[in-house]
Amino acid sequence: MNTLALITAFTALTLFSGSGYAQSSNVIPYFHRQGHDIIDPEGKQFQIKGVNVSCWLYQENYVLGGAQTAQKQTAARLSGLIGEQAYYQYLKNMMDSFLRADDIRLMKSIGVNCVRIGFDAVLFNRDSTRQWFFNSIDRLLPVFREQNIAVLLIMMVPPKATDNLWCTGYVKGDTLLWDATDAKQKTIDMWGQIAAHYRDERMILGYDLLGEPAINPKREKELIDLYVEISTAIRREDPNHMIVYEGNNYAIDLDVLSAHDQLLDKNGCYSFHLYSWFGLKMEKHLPKFMKNARLSNRPVFCGE
């Protein structure tokens, strides 16, 4: 991956916190929540200065410069052109070579301390691709440790889309995750597998459960219910790492989280997204996000 592509491919993350510094009296050797702060494995407050890695473990055509189409559409077309075996070899080659040790060192040189890595649930449909997923991250963990860069895992594309945009895998006519019981269970099971694999890894910042969920506000308690089920599956395997909850309405509305905060995992934080070209103004929305964080006494950060 060249330097220019690396710098332009990512969007900064910023943690908003009410205090300037925090030191945990009983050091927990993992990133964790302490009130409205994130605390690192050394017991110090952790201010996220991060980047997003798109197109490595899922193909986001919008970022690659193509049409606003879901990955599965591109996969089907490419597989039809070159054959299924060649397509899977291409996928493996992408996963093996898209992100390299030098890229991570470059991130460190520009001040990055956290990498948010998105992935597609389709990788868990086959034993081979599931192993590619874990191998892709595991081979770079020594470099993340060397550079002291935390890793945040996010399921960008669940088994069924969480909204009606291409970025979570939606194709016109698809059933959404909220109406697909089997897909919900797959989502829960996948996070359990991921948590079991990374339960002892100190460089994992946490698990960002769903990218940009958007469910009818009249049904948004169903989002909380699914978050609770996923969190329970994670905690069966991993008592250590933070869980990240994105708000409703494409991660813009955190009210549903603060309204049901008592149901969410205590070692968790909130995440919002804010895209100015959709008419969203930071000066308007930031006070709302801060209010949600204060109400729940949790960390909150901008994921995109």
> Which CATH number belongs to the domain containing residue 54 in this structure?
3.20.20.80
**pLDDT, position 290:** 84
Which of 297 and 279 is assigned the larger pLDDT?
297
The percent of residues above 90 in pLDDT, for the chain, comes to 71
Token readout for 129 is 């691709």
Q: Please list the alpha-helical segments (H only) found in 117-240.
A: 127-138, 141-147, 181-198, 221-237
The Cα–Cα gap between 115 and 237 comes to 23
Identify the residue whose tokens are 């995440």: 271
**pLDDT, position 67:** 67
Q: Is the pLDDT of residue 246 over 50?
A: yes
**pLDDT, position 23:** 43
Counted domains in the chain: 1
Where is average pLDDT lowest: 79-88, 178-187, 240-249, 282-291?
282-291
**pLDDT, position 283:** 76
Residue 219 · residue 180 · CB < 8 Å: no
**pLDDT, position 288:** 84
Q: Which of 190, 172, 182, 168 is nearest to 118 (CA)?
A: 168
Q: Which of 146, 148, 172 is nearest to 161 (CA)?
A: 172
pLDDT class of 286 with cuts at 50, 70, 90: confident
Q: Averaged over 71-76, what is the pLDDT?
A: 84
Q: The domain containing residue 287 runs over which residues?
A: 3-302
Phi/psi for 28 (5° steps) reads -100, 125
**pLDDT, position 19:** 40
Q: Is the pLDDT of residue 3 over 50?
A: no
CB neighbourhood size of 192 (10 A): 18
